[in-house]
Amino acid sequence: MRTLFVAGNWKMNPNSAEAAVALAEAVKSGVGQAVDVRVAVCPPAIYLSRIDPVLAGSPIGLGAQNMHAKPDGAYTGEISGAMLVDAGCTHVILGHSERRHGQGETDDAVNGKLHAALAAQLIPIVCIGETRLERESDLTEDVVARQLEHSLAGLSPEQMAGVVLAYEPVWAIGTGLTATPQQAQAVHAFIRRQLAAKFGEATAARVVVQYGGSVKADNAAELLACPDIDGALVGGASLKPADFLGIIEAGQSVTAKGKG
């Protein structure tokens, strides 16, 4: 049914185009023509057009980490969806917690970008997730429901089926604290129930929902084996080819075995 999708969010790394190209080359040669797991890398915007030719002829998608909601105009420092497509992008991460919490990005802002990404024919990866305080206050489902409601407003079921979601509990990002497979699966199942209520069962069954937050080669298999976890959005481990490839391999072995 849903093909597992592993994406690397390089965040603000590495420090040179040369190192970025080398990382993309290593991922490309490691992945080869493996197509049973979807793979994408999301480098800093300034490296995108350097990396696009590196990935030519491979099944690896190229994603940006953000975009602006408007198609053009007086928006200093911003990048439009059309510019990302022109640079070779197939995907774009939207509403990452580091933008929501660090740059004050709201659900409404994410929603504007989401509609713009779809209009530009980019596959959006929309991030949602609760903070540690929200989890400890038993607000995880409330927060996730609110983020889904507002971030996904105005989408048709057909549009929704082409959107990737990434559940990234904020307390698990870059901390080495991973949600247990049981914790993650519970929220993923909740997300799918919310999608079913909003867009219908058939659409909910098609939406790929990645997990993100300290995913490593040694914990990926048990997360990816969960019925409602359809991939991983990987930060730190995506900067080391062996680690990132290990996560992809974990996805391949889960795919080969089937989810039962």
List contacts with ligand 13P (CB under 6 A).
9, 96, 168, 173-174, 212-215, 233-237
Minimal CA–CA distance to 190: which of 169, 170, 176? 169
Vertex 202: Cα angle to 231 and 127 (nearest 5) = 35
Least distance between ligand 13P and beta carbon 100 (Å): 11
Please, which residue, 71 or 174, has the CB nearer to ligand 13P?
Answer: 174
Least distance between ligand 13P and beta carbon 232 (Å): 8
Contact 239, 14 (CB under 8 A): yes
d(Cα 193, Cα 246) in Å, to the nearest integer? 31
Q: Give CA separation, 248 vs 27, 41, 72, 117, 163, in Å.
A: 10, 12, 36, 26, 21
Q: Give CA separation, 28 vs 21, 22, 184, in Å.
A: 10, 10, 29
Q: Which of the residues 98, 105, 168, 249 is marked catalytic?
A: 168
Q: Which of the residues 96, 105, 130, 134 is marked catalytic?
A: 96
Q: Quick check: is 98 catalytic?
A: no
Least distance between ligand 13P and beta carbon 156 (Å): 27
Please, which residue, 187 or 233, has the CB nearer to ligand 13P?
Answer: 233
Q: Quick check: is 96 catalytic?
A: yes
Least distance between ligand 13P and beta carbon 101 (Å): 11
Please, which residue, 174 or 200, has the CB nearer to ligand 13P?
Answer: 174
Vertex 211: Cα angle to 80 and 132 (nearest 5) = 95
Please, which residue, 205 or 242, has the CB nearer to ligand 13P?
Answer: 242
Task: Give the residue closest to ligand 13P by C-beta.
Answer: 235
Residues known to be catalytic: 96, 168
